[in-house]
């Protein structure tokens, strides 16, 4: 069986992280989000996958290659202009051939998803298109449950859909394709799914997804079970350095080559990427640090995302922000509602010890610790 993985999406300048990487490549723990999607598909028996990412396909191909695992083969579909989900599968028509296929978003978390059940329901129904759906805010009664169904961003399609998709222009699944199928008398059904599908639509969804995932021992298992762990809720790479006087409170991941210096504190949920450095007396709380980013001495990073090679100057406090490695113009600063590129000129000049310094000094000196589950 084959699948089309949608990994494009136009951000139109609203998400500064997407300037560095397509959302599907944003790291979650130690791997890009899309690798988790590919793994779920492979466990469901899908070995051939087409990835469509508009003008960013080459970036994903450079990261994943064409055979990321012995039993996975990837085909890449390139479109310079936005085509929409339905347009992307139309572009893959020759590759897909005359067989049933799956369509799924590459920037999503598929948590405890039973794809086998969804495929079986599709085959039994004789539907041309099956929409995976989640039931939210329902009372438990059958009618209320059906009325509360919402599309989850995953579809099972028969090749009969192709004549209903135009070869040019933007073609959406819900707005164009599904209405055309129903008008033609073809069966379209919604099937409630077990588990969860969490879309990562922007930086806020991304940070929330990390927090929810690491806080949930059941759902995080597939993301961390391959990682070394000496303490519950802590996954620290053997090549990472954690000073004996530093404190890491889980759930937290510390990647290869990362350094957490003396009196620094990491409070999970948190992801510290490869070769990151957290200087002495700095605090990182509920944040994601991409590779090679640095937090200066005494700085505070809370509910924030540091892009690759970003630097937080000593003493700076940031909350609810994105830190980039490139300077933004004043116009860009105003247009980013929850993002900023902080510099040393924005240093907090208060001479009073910050709360985390008081907390750390008042606590007993300790090595790595973890949360109690």
Quick check: 191 pLDDT over 50? yes
Distance of alpha carbon 115 from alpha carbon 118, whole angstroms: 5
DSSP annotation of 115 reads H
Task: For the beta carbon of residue 251, count every other beta carbon within 10 angstroms.
Answer: 24
Domain ranges of the chain: 2-199, 227-362
- 80: exposed, middle or buried (C-beta count within 10 Å: 0-12, 13-18, 19+)? exposed
Give the Cα separation of 90 and 159 in Å (integer).
10
Tokens of 7: 């990994």
- Has residue 136 got a pLDDT over 80? no
pLDDT at 369: 46
**Residue 272 and residue 254: Cα distance in Å, rounded?**
5
2-199 and 227-362 have identical folds: no
Q: Name the region of 235 (left: φ>0; alpha: ψ -120 to 50; beta: rest).
A: beta
Angle, helices 57-64 vs 33-43, to 10°: value is: 70
pLDDT, residue 137, reads 53
pLDDT value at residue 58: 85
Cα separation, 41 vs 5, in Å, equals 10
pLDDT score of 344 more than 60: no
**What is the model's pLDDT at position 148?**
61
**Domain 227-362 class in CATH:** mainly beta
* Residue with the larger pLDDT of the pair 137 and 144: 137
pLDDT given for residue 18 in this prediction: 81
pLDDT score at 205 = 92
Fold of 2-199: Spore Coat Polysaccharide Biosynthesis Protein SpsA; Chain A (3.90.550)
Does residue 332 register a pLDDT over 50?
A: no
Of 239 and 370, more confident: 239
- Residue predicted with more confidence, 330 or 265: 265
Residue scoring higher pLDDT (80 or 18)? 18
**pLDDT at 365 exceeding the cut of 70:** no
Is 360 a residue whose pLDDT tops 90?
Answer: no
Write the CB contacts of 177 (distance below 8 Å, at least 6 apart in sequence).
86, 129, 161, 164, 165, 171
Q: Give Cβ neighbours of residue 211 (< 8 Å, ≥ 6 apart).
A: 269, 286
180, pLDDT greater than 50: yes
Rounded to whole angstroms, the maximal C-alpha distance in the chain is 72
For the cut 80, the answer to whether the pLDDT of residue 275 exceeds it is yes
Q: What is the pTM of this model?
A: 0.82
pLDDT band at 143 (very low <50, low <70, confident <90, very high): very low
**pLDDT tens string 203-260:** 999 999 999 999 999 999 999 999 999 889 999 999 999 999 999 998 999 999 999 9
Q: What is the pLDDT of residues 26-73, one digit of tens each?
A: 999 999 999 999 999 999 999 999 999 877 788 899 999 998 888 889
Tell me phi and psi for residue 49, to 5 degrees.
-135, 135
Which residues have CB under 8 Å from 237's CB, separation 6+? 227, 228, 254, 255, 256, 257, 258
User: What mean pLDDT is predicted for residues 110-139?
Assistant: 87
Res. 129 pLDDT band, cuts 50 70 90: very high
Sign of CA dihedral 181, 182, 184, 186: positive
pLDDT of residue 70: 85
């Amino acid at each position: 069986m084959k699948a089309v993985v949608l990994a494009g999406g136009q951000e139109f300048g609203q998400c500064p992280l997407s300037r560095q990487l397509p959302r599907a490549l944003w790291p979650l723990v130690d791997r890009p989000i899309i690798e988790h999607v590919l793994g779920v598909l492979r466990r469901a028996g899908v070995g051939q996958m087409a990835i469509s990412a508009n003008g960013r396909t080459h970036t994903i191909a450079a990261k994943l290659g064409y055979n990321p695992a012995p039993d996975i083969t990837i085909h890449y579909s390139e479109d310079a202009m936005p085509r929409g989900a339905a347009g992307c599968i139309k572009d893959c028509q020759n590759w897909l051939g005359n067989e049933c296929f799956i369509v799924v978003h590459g920037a999503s978390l598929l948590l405890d998803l039973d794809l086998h059940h969804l495929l079986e329901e599709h085959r039994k129904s004789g539907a041309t298109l099956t929409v995976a759906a989640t039931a939210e805010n329902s009372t438990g009664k059958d009618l209320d449950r059906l009325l509360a169904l919402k599309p989850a961003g995953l579809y099972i399609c028969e090749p009969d859909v192709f004549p209903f998709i135009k070869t040019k222009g933007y073609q959406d699944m819900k707005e164009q394709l599904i209405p055309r199928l129903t008008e033609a008398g073809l069966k379209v059904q919604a099937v409630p799914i077990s588990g969860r599908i969490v879309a990562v639509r922007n930086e806020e969804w991304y940070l929330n997804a990390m927090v929810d995932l690491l806080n949930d021992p059941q759902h995080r298992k597939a993301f961390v079970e391959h990682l070394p762990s000496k303490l519950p809720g802590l996954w620290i790479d053997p090549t990472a350095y954690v000073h004996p006087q530093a404190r890491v409170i889980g759930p937290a991941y510390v990647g290869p080559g990362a350094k957490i210096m003396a009196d620094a504190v990491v409070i999970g949920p948190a992801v510290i990427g490869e070769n990151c450095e957290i200087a002495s007396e700095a605090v990182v709380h509920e944040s994601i640090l991409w590779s090679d980013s640095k937090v200066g001495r005494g700085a505070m990073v809370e509910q924030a995302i540091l892009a690759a090679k970003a630097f937080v100057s000593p003493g700076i406090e940031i909350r609810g922000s994105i830190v980039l490695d490139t300077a933004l113009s004043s116009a860009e600063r105003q247009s980013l509602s929850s993002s900023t590129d902080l510099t040393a000129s924005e240093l907090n000049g208060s001479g009073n010890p910050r709360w985390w310094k008081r907390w750390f000094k008042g606590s007993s000196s300790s090595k790595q610790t973890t949360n109690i589950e």
